[in-house]
Amino acid sequence: MKISRHIILAFLAAIICLGFSAKALEIFIGPSAQRTLQQKLLTAQQSISKLYVDSVDGNKLVEDAIRGMLKELDPHSLYSTPEETRALNEPLQGNFSGIGISFNITTDTLYVIQTISGGPSEKVGILPGDRIIAVNDTTIAGVKMTNADIQKRLRGPKGTDVDVTVLRNAASSPDTINFTITRADIPINSIDAAYMVDASTGYIRLNKFAADTSNEFVNAVKDLKKQGMKQLILDLTDNGGGYLNAAVEILGEMLPPDRLAVYTEGLHSPRYDAKTSPKGKTPLLGDDKIVVMVNQYSASASEITSGALQDHDRALIVGRRTFGKGLVQRPIPLPDGSMIRLTMAHYYTPAGRDIQKHYDKGDEESYRRDIENRYNNGELMHADSIHLADSTVYRTLRLNRPVYGGGGIMPDRFVPLDTTEYTKYYRNVMAKGIFNKYVISYVDENRARLKKLYKTDDDFVDHFEVSDEMLGALRRIAEKESVDFNEEEYQRSLPLIKVALKSLIGRDLYDQATYFKVFNTHSPIFNEAYRLINSQDYTTLLPLKKK
C-alpha cells in the first residue's frame, strides 16, 4: 500500500516551516492560510502516526518527503542528511582533522602519495610510497573497504591518536612499521598548482571557491610576482564553484575597487550587489594581462568570476561554454544537523546576463544529461553548433563587445574537445585504474633513482621520457585486467597515454603542481591560453585602457 504523495509533500512542508517563525510564514502566505496549513499538516501527521495500517520509519518518510518536494522545484534545491551535510561543507570550510596524507586506493590497498608538509604523518615519519594496511588494529588492506570507510577511520577530533600499521618497501625488502599519529587540523587547499610557465607568465589552477581561497590566491599571486610574473593564466576548468564571497574577493584583486562583481535577485530576495574590494590598497594584478581557462564543467562561482572579468573587458575567456549554474541556494539548517539548500535567487553578471541554463521543473534527468546532449549535438567540438537566440546578446561595459546570456559563459576563444585520442581502449585502461596501478608499482621500485636523477620537478618535466619498456608493462597489466588490445586505438591514444603516465609519476614523486606542469603541455585549452596571452591577438581583442 502506498502513502499518498500529497501527504508526503505535506510532511515536507511541515519540516521546511520549522525553519521559519509563524510570523515569517504569515508574511509569505497570509495569517488565514498559515493557520489552515498548520492545521492540515498537524492532522496529516497525527493521522499517519495513529491510524496507518503498518509501521512507518518516520525519519525515512520525512527525508523522502523533503527530497520529493524539492525535486519539483529546480535541479539545485537539495536536501542533505547530517552525514551528507558534513561531507558537502567540509571541502569548502578550509580544513578538517586528520593525519595529513593524500592517498590512492588500488588493489584494495591504501597507498600514500604525499604527506602534508608539517602535518601529523610527516612528523612521525610516514613516507610517500608507504602502504597503510591497518588502522587501530583493524585491517584495511585486501578487504574491499570504500574510500569513505577508510577516511572515517583516519579522521577524527583534533588531538586524538590513531594507530596505523605501514608496509614499507613493498617491492624490494618489505618492512612492517607501527606508528601512532596525533590528529591535527589539515588544510584543504583550493589551489592545485601555481607556477611560472615562462619568465613573465604565471599559472594558477583553482579547484573550488572555499573559505580560504582568496587568501591562497593572494599568496600565490604574490609569490609568482616575486618570480617575475607580469601576466596570468587562471585555470578554472572543472571547477564546480563554491562560495560567492570567495569569487568576489578574488575579483577584487583583478578589477578596480568598487566595481560590480555580480548581483543576485529573486521573487522574495531583493537585488543585492556584490562589489570588488582588494585586500591591500590596490588590486594585486593591476593592469596585468589575464586569460581564464574554462570548460563545460566550470560552474557557479567559476562562472561569476569569468563572467565579471569578461563583462568588464578585463580578461579573455578561453575554452568551451561553461556549465550554466546561476541559481543561489540559501542553507536552511534543520534541528538534527541535516540541511535544505533552497534556491532563493538568480546570479547575474555585471552586464545583466543570467548565468542559469534552461531547465524544466521536476525534470532533473534532462538537466543532468545536458553535457551529454552538448556532446551529441557537436557543441563541444564545433563552435558553430552552439545556437543562442538573438535575445541573449548583451554588451560588455568598456568596449561594447557582444557577449551572451541564457546558459553559462561563452568563451572569447572557443577550443574544441579533441576526441581523436580518447579511444575506447584508453577509456577502459583509465576506468579500470590501470594507470594508477602501474605508476604506484613503477614509482615504488624507482623512487630513489628518479629523485637522484631529477633533482627538481622542473628537471623531471624537461627531461623524463616514458620508455617503450614502460608502455609494454602498462599493456601487460591491461591485458591481465581483461582490456582487449586494439593496435589502431592504441596508436591514436599513445600521446595521451604517455602524458598521463608522466603526469601521474611526476605527481607521486613531487606534488600535484607537477601533474599540471606535465599535463598542460598536452592541453589544447592551456596551449591556446598561452598562445593568446603572448600574442598581438590579446591587445586586439582587449585594447589597453587609455591613461
pLDDT in tens, 27-81: 445 567 777 877 876 787 678 777 888 887 777 777 777 787 788 888 888 888 8
With cell 546570479, the residue in question is 347
Which grid cell sits at 345? 535567487
- Among 103, 100, 98, 97, residue whose Cα is nearest residue 119: 100
Could you tell me the CATH number of the domain that includes residue 105? 2.30.42.10
What is the band of 288 on the pLDDT scale with cuts at 50, 70, 90? Answer: very high
* Per-residue pLDDT at 170: 67
Under the banding of pLDDT at 50, 70 and 90, the label for residue 11 is very low
Give the residue from 417, 433, 452 where a domain finishes. Answer: 417
Q: What is the 3-state secondary structure (H, E, C) of 126-175?
A: CCCCCEEEEECCEECCCCCCCHHHHHHHHCCCCCCEEEEEEEECCCCCCE
**Residue 49 sits in the same domain as residue 158:** no
Burial of 412 (0-12, 13-18, 19+ CB in 10 A): buried
Whether residue 239 lies inside any domain: the answer is yes
Give the C-alpha separation, 184 to 117, whole Å: 13
Q: Residues 143-169: what's their mean pLDDT?
A: 83
Q: What is the pLDDT of residue 59?
A: 75
364 and 403 part of one domain: yes
Q: What is the pLDDT confidence band of residue 9, given thresholds at 50, 70 and 90?
A: very low
What pLDDT, on a 0 to 100 scale, did the predictor assign at position 17?
A: 42
Q: What b/e string do you get for 340-349 counting C-beta neighbours within 10 Å, with b at 16 or more?
A: bbbbbbbbbb
DSSP 185: E
User: Is 491 within the bounds of a domain?
Assistant: yes
Q: Specify the pLDDT at position 77.
A: 85
Residue 102 domain-assigned? yes
Q: Could you tell me what percent of the chain has a pLDDT over 70? A: 89
Question: Do residues 373 and 233 share a domain?
Answer: yes
Answer whether residue 213 is part of any domain.
yes
Is there a single domain that holds both residue 312 and residue 359?
Answer: yes
Residue at 226 is within a domain: yes
* 491 grid coordinates: 596508436
Q: What is the pLDDT of residue 95?
A: 62
Determine the Cα–Cα distance for residues 102 and 115; give it in Å rounded to an integer.
6
- Residue 122 domain-assigned (yes or no): yes
Based on the fold, state whether residues 307 and 397 are members of the same structural domain: yes
In-domain check, residue 337: no
List, for residues 165-184, the tens digit of each pLDDT value: 988 876 666 788 888 999 98
Q: Same structural domain for residues 51 and 141?
A: no
216 and 311 assigned to the same domain: yes
Average pLDDT, stretch 187-191? 85
Q: Is 468 helix (H, G, I), strand (E, B) or coil?
A: helix
Is there a domain that residue 110 lies in? yes
Q: Residue holding cell 546578446?
A: 393
Let me know whether 174 and 210 are in one domain. no
CA distance 10 to 50: 17
Which region holds residue 8: left if phi is over 0, alpha if psi is between -120 and 50, else beta? Answer: alpha
Query: Quick check: 162 pLDDT over 80?
Result: yes
Query: Which of 417, 448, 472 represents a domain boundary (last residue)?
Result: 417
Query: Which CATH number fits the domain that encloses residue 391?
Result: 3.90.226.10
pLDDT at 481 over 80: yes
Report which of residues 124 and 517 the model is more confident about.
517
- Catalytic residues, which ones? 300, 311, 325
Torsion, Cα of 527, 530, 531, 537 (10° steps): 130
Indicate if the alpha-carbon torsion angle 48, 49, 54, 56 is positive or negative.
Answer: positive
pLDDT, residue 101, reads 84
Q: Look up residue 402 and give its amino acid.
A: P
pLDDT in tens, 341-353: 899 999 999 999 9
What is the average pLDDT across 317-334? 91
* Same domain as 449, residue 412: no
What is the pLDDT averaged over residues 101-115? 78
Q: Do 114 and 66 share a structural domain?
A: no
- Tell me how far the alpha carbon of residue 207 is from its chain's centroid: 5
State how beta strands 184-187 and 95-98 pair: antiparallel
Choose the weakest-confidence range: 58-67, 117-126, 437-446. 58-67
Mean pLDDT, the chain, rounded, equals: 86
**Number of domains into which the chain is organized:** 4
Domain of 179 in residue numbering reads as 95-187
Same domain assignment for residues 32 and 138: no
Q: Where does the pLDDT of residue 22 fall: very low under 50, low under 70, confident under 90, or very high at 90 and above?
A: very low
One domain for residues 317 and 361: yes
